[in-house]
Structure 1
Amino acid sequence: MSGRRELPLMRHSTSAHSLRNSRITIAIAVGIFLGCVFAFFFPHGFFLSNPNFHSPHLSNSIAQVVSTPCESSERLNMLKADFAAASKRNVDLKKQVKELTEKLRWAKQGKDQAEEQVVVLGEQHKAGPFGTVKSLRTNPTIIPDESVNPRLAKTLEKVAVQREIIVGLANSNVKEMLEVWFNSIKKVGIPNYLVVALDDEIANFCESNDVPVYKRDPDEGIDSVGKTGGNHAVSALKFRILREFLQLGYSVLLSDVDIVYLQNPFDYLYRDSDVESMTDGHNNLTAYGYDDVFDEPPMGWARYAHTMRIWVYNSGFFYLRATIPSIELLDRVANRLSREKAWDQAVFNEELFFPSHPGYDGLHASRRTMDFYLFMNSKVLFKTVRKDANLIKLKPVIVHVNYHPDKLPRMKAIVEFYVNGKQDALKPFPDGSDW
């Protein structure tokens, strides 16, 4: 009996001992495992007792946390700088796009030859086959500078069409002719014209007749001439005034007020030269040039000398593209007229045609003579056209009463004939003048 009792106790003791051994073994295993883990992740110990100890992972994390505010500030400054630079580049690009658009518009507006020349301007080329080579004639337009005259720039922005405008200067001395002038423009339906008023009376007169007008700022010396001067004085003044129009980037069709408009002149311009001007010539030879032979008998075999002749351009009606040569022409003429007692038309032609020679640099400007039957002077009309059954059927673009002093009655007669159909309106006038 007692033996049977001892057996369970021995079994219980053995089981308890095994359980304890198993727990110790598990604990040791767990400890070894954790030790391996800590040894792997913390090879230098769990506690950083060494002040020289440096953990790359921990250091980087701390540095990242500490430097975040500084980096954010620096990055913000960098972003601001990048934004400012991008904004500047954007402004520059817009400016370049505007300039390219303007050049493209001018290229499309010109004739085929002018288009090709503007596109290839500045490029180097090889000479083509015989008979195919053509030089460049069309200078590029300048970059507009609105700081020259902001008030005028605003006026032109409203009035001009495709950066072109008719400009007429007037004071109270030519008030009646001015009225015929702008009424003929209105009748044709030309929107882009402007009167530069040289006194208050003309400014008020234009405003009361719904005529676009610009009154210049006071300018001593210049304004005294403009207010009291006659036709020639005002004509000389225009060369200084027109400069601002060109600097603002607008091409100008300068017009004296003794002109009657019968068609829109902008429909008949070529725009392939710096200057397009009507001529004082009255036929093909005088208008477009001819070989005039000078005879000097004492020279014997060499008695005949050939000379090139052309009648002068009229300084009362010409078209200037907004180019450097055009502005240089205005500067040259205005400068000479301020120093010399000379006729502005003579100076205008001398500066335009005289070539470079010792002691003088000629103007490098391209020129075109207008069709003298379309842009007609009064000599052509009264001496030739009105007497020719075929020519009288033609309708000119403008008629400039430049050859006759009785300007106003002839202007009115031209309106009566071409506009109102009065067939005998031109007959009472002589070919020339009485004096």
Structure 2
Amino acid sequence: MADHRDGPLMRDKSKENVQCQITLAIVIGIVLGCVFAFLYPYELFTYYSPFQDQPFGKTNLKAGSSSCESSERIGVLKLEIASLSEKNAELNIKLKFLRKQLRLAEQGRDYAQKQVMALGENHKAGPFNTVKGLRTNPTVFPDESVNPRLAKILEEVAVHKEIIVAIANSKVQSMLEVWFTSIKKVGIPNHLVVALDDHIESICKSNGVPVYKRDPDEGIDSIGKTGDNHAVSGLKFRILREFLQLGYSVLVSDVDIVYLQNPFDYLYRDSDVESMSDGYNNKTAYGFDDVFDEPAMGWARYAHTMRIWAYNSGFFYIRPTLPSIELLDRVASRLSKDPDSWDQAVFNEELFYPSHPGYDGLHASKRTLDFYLFMNSKVLFKMVRKDARLKKLKPVIVHVNYHPDKLPRMNAIVDFYVNGKQDALEPFPVGSVWQKK
């Protein structure tokens, strides 16, 4: 009876004990948690991931795949090296271009200084042997309205407002092909063929040669299409005028010329006209005192004369100045009045004749180019090929102007200087053997 009476009380006490134990356990757990959290803030429950410390997007590779990664890395490095080599080559090209621009800028600066000195305020002459006159005339202001189509072509092809120009018809196709092949071999980008007929225009386009076909012009076109070398050579003085009016310096070139170096690297640009010479040594090319002997004059029998062999009108550099344009006008005018005149003779007469009663001479500055660098075929076949030292010299161009068998001699020149055939020039005679008709 007693157990039955005490049951509810004991159950209440038991519940209270359980609640106390639970509370005590929670308190102890919280205290222990705080203690461990304080003592071991990072290391108690450290989770290690196989991807720990790996860059984003990458995983640890197995040992078997490490060699694959090395090969890929080597390939990437090779590509980077190749890319750097290409960039280095590009930088070298740019450096060479910048050096050339610097040289041209220095030339322009010197010219500008001289022009200011000559055209500026009046000034006294300097000390003895220090006075220098202005040799380079100012260039004309470009006028694109003269020929907009040609102006667009020149803008694309010319370099530093300079260009090589050859005028050709179908009669000189074979020589023209040797001409532009040698130019391409040297790597001269600024060249242009003025085509006088449709066939030459087609030949140039098919070979990737810059070409300009003139608009129809009666009289001039009939000469251009059917004329011989001398007729075409005389025609060029009228055609070249437009190039100068557009503000471009022109290196006039016949097609019987083989290019072995870039001629623009050897010009001085300090004169209106720079021309190769028909001379074959220092005296004939650059001038000499020629004594004329007349015994009847007794004491005054010896008369001294200044002579120079002709400038070659088949290869000369002409700047866009007023005296240069006047030179072209004078030559073209005389040739139109007397078609039988030789254009080279007229070219030299207008360039060198001084003013005298009834005639006003041309005030154009001129320079004779180095006859070993800008070589005519007389120099080559009479002297150079027979001299072991001169044979080692590499000219800039060789002009086959002294010989009528032009094409075979041009091919021999290519064989000798380009292909290294040391006996290529030997079969040809010094002079020319004219065949009787």
Residue deviations 1:248-304, cap 9 Å, x none? 000000000000000000000000000000000000000000000001011111111
> In the TM superposition, what are the counterparts of 1:292-331 in structure 2 within 5 Å?
292-331=290-329
Note the C-alpha offset of 1:115: 5.4
The 3-state SS of whatever aligns with 1:318 is strand
- Supply the distance in 2 between the matched residues of 1:278 and 1:187 (Cα, whole angstroms): 22
Match of 2:407 in 1: 408
Q: Identify which of 247, 259, 262 aligns with 1:261.
A: 259
Residue deviations 1:169-221, cap 9 Å, x none? 00000000000000000000000000000000000010000000000000000
> In the TM superposition, what are the counterparts of 1:256-295 in structure 2 within 5 Å?
256-295=254-293
Q: Does the 8 Å CA contact 1:180/1:411 hold for their aligned counterparts?
A: yes
Gaps of 5+ in 2: 1-100
- Supply the distance in 2 between the matched residues of 1:211 and 1:191 (Cα, whole angstroms): 9
- Supply the distance in 1 between the matched residues of 2:185 and 2:248 (Cα, whole angstroms): 24
- Supply the distance in 1 between the matched residues of 2:260 and 2:349 (Cα, whole angstroms): 31
Note the C-alpha offset of 1:122: 1.2
- Supply the distance in 2 between the matched residues of 1:118 and 1:218 (Cα, whole angstroms): 41
Using a 3 Å threshold, how does the CA distance of structure 1 residues 109 and 402 change in structure 2: closer, same or farther? Answer: farther
Note the C-alpha offset of 1:238: 0.1
The 3-state SS of whatever aligns with 1:110 is helix
Match of 1:81 in 2: none
Q: Does the 8 Å CA contact 1:166/1:254 hold for their aligned counterparts?
A: yes
Q: Does the 8 Å CA contact 2:273/2:319 hold for their aligned counterparts?
A: yes
- Supply the distance in 1 between the matched residues of 2:117 and 2:411 (Cα, whole angstroms): 48
Matched, 1:108 2:124: no
Q: Does the 8 Å CA contact 1:180/1:412 hold for their aligned counterparts?
A: yes
Q: Does the 8 Å CA contact 1:107/1:119 hold for their aligned counterparts?
A: no
User: Which letter does structure 2 place at the counterpart of 1:215?
Assistant: K
Using a 3 Å threshold, how does the CA distance of structure 1 residues 377 and 111 change in structure 2: closer, same or farther? Answer: farther
Gaps of 5+ in 1: 1-103
Note the C-alpha offset of 1:120: 3.1
Percent identity for Structure 1 against Structure 2: 79
Note the C-alpha offset of 1:109: 5.7
- Supply the distance in 2 between the matched residues of 1:115 and 1:382 (Cα, whole angstroms): 43
Q: Does the 8 Å CA contact 1:181/1:260 hold for their aligned counterparts?
A: yes
Match of 1:369 in 2: 368
Match of 1:131 in 2: 129
Match of 2:350 in 1: 351
> In the TM superposition, what are the counterparts of 1:13-412 in structure 2 within 5 Å?
108=105, 110=107, 114=111, 116-123=113-120, 124-340=122-338, 341-412=340-411
Using a 3 Å threshold, how does the CA distance of structure 1 residues 262 and 112 change in structure 2: closer, same or farther? Answer: farther
User: Which letter does structure 1 place at the counterpart of 2:186?
Assistant: V
Q: Does the 8 Å CA contact 2:118/2:133 hold for their aligned counterparts?
A: no
Using a 3 Å threshold, how does the CA distance of structure 1 residues 411 and 141 change in structure 2: closer, same or farther? Answer: same
Using a 3 Å threshold, how does the CA distance of structure 1 residues 118 and 421 change in structure 2: closer, same or farther? Answer: farther
The 3-state SS of whatever aligns with 1:389 is coil
Q: Does the 8 Å CA contact 1:107/1:115 hold for their aligned counterparts?
A: no
The 3-state SS of whatever aligns with 2:167 is strand
Q: Does the 8 Å CA contact 1:107/1:118 hold for their aligned counterparts?
A: no
- Taking structure 1 as the reference length, what is the TM-score of the superposition? 0.75
Cα RMSD, aligned residues only: 1.5
Match of 1:417 in 2: 416
- Supply the distance in 2 between the matched residues of 1:208 and 1:282 (Cα, whole angstroms): 38
